[in-house]
Amino acid sequence: MKKLNVGLVGAGFMGKAHVVAYSNMPKLFWPAPAMPVLKTICDIVPEIAEDSRERFGFEKCCTDWREIVNDPEIDVVSVCTPNNAHAPIAIAALEAGKHVICEKPIASTLADAKAMADAAAKAAEKGIISMNAYQYRRVPAIVLAKKFIDEGSLGEILNVRCTYLQSWSADPDSPLSWRFQKDIAGAGTLGDIASHVIDIAQYLAGDIDEVVSMMKTYITERPVQEGGVDLLGTVKLGADAPRKAVDVDDEDSFLVKFKSGASGSIEATRNAWGRNNFITVELHGTLGSVYFNYERLNELQVCWAKDPDDRRGFKTIYTGPAHFYGDATWNIPGMNIGYGELKAIEMFDFISAIVNGQQPSTRFEVGYRVERVCAAVAKSAESRQWEKVED
Ligand SMILES: NC(=O)c1ccc[n+]([C@@H]2O[C@H](COP(=O)([O-])OP(=O)(O)OC[C@H]3O[C@@H](n4cnc5c(N)ncnc54)[C@H](O)[C@@H]3O)[C@@H](O)[C@H]2O)c1
């Protein structure tokens, strides 16, 4: 079986998720499209690099990503660093002929996102694959919703409403990590989580054309966390820790108009006590509606207009072997998948794309379009007017 040597940059939360995905993909999807081989892991913090080499079973580790990009043995690069490092690593890797899976948001600036999409388009001419890690569009229930839309079962899509609500930064004492610094993250909630539901909305209902938005920062300073893995609010640094101003958004609310004529709304916050990974997607069509909530990710609720008045209402479909990717996961409905399986599904799509020579649905151009929607949202929050998404 074909082998692909993997270099992974950034050994934090997502570094771990990519390792779980590389390791589990062939265990779930067999025969696998190719076998990933964990060659080199890189982290800018030497202790994290060495620790993760041992923990995850890589052959080597390093602290400079150029070692991975310049290594002729490496076929595939996972970019799992904070956002401002995505562009230099991904572009250099593509130019060196490596296939690249890069975490979302694609970059910390629109200019970097464009440069990455351009580099990916050029590399694609030589059969090189690029992919942004918007894994939530690959949840089997979301793919099922897409199937209902594509086959016309929901009729014309009228309205799309999405939320992404979390609570991990709701405490003012939770640390000011890289996620709260504009020069590293590019944006706050907008790039971090709203981008995911923008991607799902565009996957299901087509391109967003115009937006009007409000953005708010509730907690204007936080205790500083210097470098390393983002503690994601798990550690409170206390009242006497040095504090710094937050220069990114906590909450975004916006109305959207799609090119198709559908309308909708998107809300995202990391300050909603009681909400954990509360991604909801609701679509209303002329023939029915679907509703999804990631906190119940193995379920899709569906309501058909054609049902008689006295029994019309949402019913729950539990995704399993009869649905997308179901034959590779667990063979009894209700056994359920979680985040680990979802990242393995994403990795299956990435490795399949490499082997089949076909760009995946979340190639860099698609990540760049999400970024253009984010730019319009930010612009509208300033102008207080509807803003067009750049084509
Ligand atoms: N797809 C998802 O659901 C999802 C979820 C969380 C994060 N992310 C994205 O993944 C990326 C990483 O986020 P995270 O939560 O894993 O961050 P993290 O803070 O947990 O880990 C980042 C790691 O990168 C290292 N690092 C920083 N700069 C580096 C450089 N130049 N070279 C090598 N290593 C470097 C840090 O030391 C740290 O260990 C971000 O782009 C984030 O938006 C995606």
Convert the pLDDT of each residue in 63-84 to its tens digit. Answer: 999 999 999 999 999 999 999 9
Structure tokens belonging to residue 67: 């070692």
Domains of the chain: 3-135 (3.40.50.720), 141-361+368-387 (3.30.360.10)
100 phi and psi angles, rounded to 5 deg: -125, 125
Q: How confident is the model at residue 333 (pLDDT cuts 50, 70, 90)?
A: confident
> What is the best residue among 18, 48, 63, 80 to mutate for testing ligand 1's pocket, by most ligand atoms within 8 Å of CB?
80
Residue 88 CB less than 6 A away from ligand 1: no
Q: What pLDDT is stored for residue 83 in this prediction?
A: 98
Helices (H), 151-244: 182-185, 189, 195-205
Report the nearest-CA residue for atom 30 of ligand 1: 44
pLDDT tens digits along 80-129: 999 999 999 999 999 999 999 999 999 999 999 999 999 999 999 999 99
The mean predicted confidence, pLDDT, of the chain is 97
Contacts of 374 (CB under 8 A, 6+ apart): 105, 187, 190, 191, 194, 195, 198
Q: How far is the CA of 82 from the centre of ligand 1 (A)?
A: 4
d(CA 124, CA 97): 10
Closest CA to 235 of 244, 248, 226: 226
Ligand 1 nearest-atom number relative to CA 133? 1
Residue 104 CB less than 6 A away from ligand 1: yes
The answer to whether residue 228 scores a pLDDT higher than 90 is: no
Residue 103 CB less than 6 A away from ligand 1: yes
Ligand 1 nearest-atom number relative to CA 81? 24
Ligand 1 nearest-atom number relative to CA 85? 31
- Please give the distance of CA 242 from its chain centroid, rounded to a whole number: 32
Q: What pLDDT is stored for residue 105 in this prediction?
A: 98
The least confident of 51-55, 169-173, 208-212 is 169-173
331-355 b/e (C-beta count within 10 Å ≥ 16 → b):
eeeeebbeeebbbbbbbbbbbbbbe
The two most distant CA atoms of the chain are separated, in Å, by 66
Q: What pLDDT is stored for residue 239 in this prediction?
A: 74
Q: How far is the CA of 119 from the centre of ligand 1 (A)?
A: 22
Per-residue pLDDT, averaged over 242-247, amounts to: 94
Residue 80 CB less than 6 A away from ligand 1: yes
Closest CA to 355 of 97, 28, 62, 99: 99
d(CA 113, CA 187): 13
Residue 355 CB less than 6 A away from ligand 1: no
Q: Cis check for the bond before 360: say yes or no (omega within 30 of 0).
A: no
> What is the best residue among 9, 16, 20, 43 to mutate for testing ligand 1's pocket, by most ligand atoms within 8 Å of CB?
43
> What is the best residue among 13, 168, 346 to mutate for testing ligand 1's pocket, by most ligand atoms within 8 Å of CB?
13
Ligand 1 nearest-atom number relative to CA 14? 16
The answer to whether residue 238 scores a pLDDT higher than 80 is: no
Q: How far is the CA of 16 from the centre of ligand 1 (A)?
A: 10
